[in-house]
Amino acid sequence: MRSGELDRRIVLQSPSATRSATGAEVTTWADVATVWAAVKREKGGESDAAEARQQTAAVVFRIRWRAGVLPGWRVSFDGRLFDVADVRELGRREGLELVAAARAT
């Protein structure tokens, strides 16, 4: 992976479940790392959710290899949040591809 391709800063965030004062489970997000990434926008798709059409924007983030990154994490990039759906290893621990979808606002 060439370092010149990694020209965007992203923040990796992991979820953790906590309990609110009422006892309800609440998901909170913790920043794990700020890393350099290459960003590739994929074609978006459409899905029917609750009888309303929603547009999804798929994005692939390429980063240097990092242990512990999992689907279910999220990426903060350019003022938006992206849910990580898949994590693919590139080469032999050379890098990772994070396949993500933009979160609905």
Domain boundaries, the chain: 3-102
pLDDT of residue 70: 97
pLDDT at 103: 84
What integer pLDDT is reported at residue 56 of this predicted model? Answer: 62
What is the per-residue pLDDT for 69?
97
| Contact of 37 with 6, CB cutoff 8 Å | yes
CATH superfamily of 3-102: Bacteriophage SPP1 head-tail adaptor protein (2.40.10.270)
Question: What is the tens place of the pLDDT at every residue in 51-68?
Answer: 444 556 799 999 999 999
Show the beta-strand stretches assigned E in the chain. 8-19, 25-41, 45-49, 52-56, 58-64, 74-77, 80-90, 95-102
The CA–CA distances, whole Å, from 1 to 5, 12, 22, 97, 101 equal 8, 19, 48, 11, 23
Q: For residue 51, what pLDDT is reported?
A: 46
Q: 42 Cβ partners below 8 Å, 6+ apart?
A: 58, 59, 60
- Whole-model pTM: value is 0.81
Distance CA 70, CA 87 (A): 6
pLDDT at 2: 74
pLDDT lower than 50: segments of the chain: 51-53
